[in-house]
Each structure stands twice: as C-alpha cells, then as structure tokens.
Amino acid sequence: MLNPTNFQSQAYESIKELILTAKLIPGQKISEKELEQRLTIGRTPIREAIIRLRREALIHVVPQSGTYISKISIKQIEEARFVRETLEKEVFVAACQAVTEEHLKELEKLVILQRTYAQLKDEIEFFQLDEAFHQLIYKIADKENVWNWLQTINLPLNRFRFLRLEVEELSWEIILRDHEEILATLKEKDQAKIAPLVGQHIDVIDNDLVFVEKAFPDYFTE
C-alpha cells in the first residue's frame, strides 16, 4: 500500500512545477476538482498541497471568490536577486579554491547539455540545467545547506527566470556565455575575476525584468 505522504508530496511537486513553469499562470483561478482531474491525484493530497503552497505564497485565497495562483512580486524578485548576488560572490570564490578536475568535467557536461537544449528551445530542460549548474557550484563550495535554504526565497525569482525564456527579445545565449565564462574562470582558479563575473551574471536580471514585465504585464504585482 502506498504511503499517503507520497501522494501529498507528488501533488505538491506537480502543482509547484505547473506554477513555476507558468502552465498555471499568475492570477489564474483554480479548483481542487480541476487539479484532481489534471493530475489524476486524489482530492485530499491536492488539498494538502494547496495549503503548503499557500504558505509559500504561490497560491492565495480570496474570500467568497476562490483560489488563485499568486501574481509574481517584483519587490520579492529584487530582494531575491540581492540575496543571490551577495551570497554567490562568496560561494563562487570558495568554489574557485575547492574545485577539482572531476567537478570541472561535471560543470562542462551541464553547459554542453544546456547548449543542446537551447538549440532545441526546450525551456524546462534549459531552466533545470541552469539551476543544476548553480547548485553544483554551491556543492563544490560545501554550501549545499545554503542552496537548500535559498529555495523558498528563490521562488518568485525562478518564476520570473522561466518567463524570461519565453521573451523573444532576450537571448538564451547570454546565459550560456556567462556559464562558459564562469567555467573558464573556475578552471583558472581566478578568485579575483569570479566575483565580478557572478555579479554581472545576476545583474542582468534588472535589465531583463523590464522586458518580461512588458511581455506579461498581468502576471506581476509590486
């Protein structure tokens, strides 16, 4: 017999992915019945998942109206960007000191795969590989707990980053070039160069936000 907790976890992860990848769009009204039919998961796990996602501010309830996918907070994007930039400068410097040939091979494999999926215009795989690249660098720096702690703060930022991939004016090539340059700098163990490079990589969010908000004006809130 399957553990009910497994169904709850499956429902939570499935709905969360639909939100992060904008399959459930910001501002959209949802119901337990619709999600049950869409995910073929029972009503109770769906209900538990919604409670959890409300705590993470991905879903909210409007009294006498219904349950909605939360819009993306620009303020929270900017705060998450600030936290990521501040931390990652230190994390990437630490990774410069600790990186091994084996680590470099793993990172290179991720960059090659990311370029492949960029050519295929596969947004989900490209985004997941982007996350995997950063997560591995945290692991190299022995800061995996910091990465795990960041995940809740990252939610609004990740929703924005996925939408960014759908805006024609914003090239995926910029992200790839940054990752290739970060990889080359890690190979050189150039600690002086890595921090400003990471800052440049994350600062692009401010510029991109203007384009993404213009493309999806109804998806955002202050």
> What is the reported pLDDT for 2?
47
Q: What is the model's pLDDT at position 171?
A: 87
Q: Range of 51's domain? A: 4-70
- Do 154 and 216 fall within a single domain? yes
How far is residue 91 from each of residues 100, 179, 182, 198, 212, measured CA to CA in Å? 15, 15, 13, 10, 28
**Closest by CA position to 182, among listed 54, 93, 116:** 93
pLDDT 10s digits, 57-80: 999 999 999 999 999 999 999 999
Task: Verify that 77 and 49 share a domain, yes or no.
Answer: no
Tell me which residues of the chain have a pLDDT lower than 50. 1-2
Please indicate, yes or no, whether residues 89 and 32 belong to a single structural domain of this protein.
Answer: no
Specify the CATH number for the domain of residue 176. Answer: 1.20.120.530
Judgement on whether residues 65 and 77 belong to the same structural domain of the protein: no
Same domain, 87 and 145: yes
Largest CA distance in the chain: 60
CATH number at residue 52: 1.10.10.10
Element (H, E) at 101: helix 101-119
What pLDDT score was predicted for residue 105?
98
Domain count, the chain: 2
Point out the domain boundary residue: 14, 39, 70: 70
* Residue 207 confidence (pLDDT): 85
The residue whose two tokens read 């960014």 is 164
CA-based nearest residue to 202, from 88, 97, 125, 73: 88
pTM more than 0.85 = yes
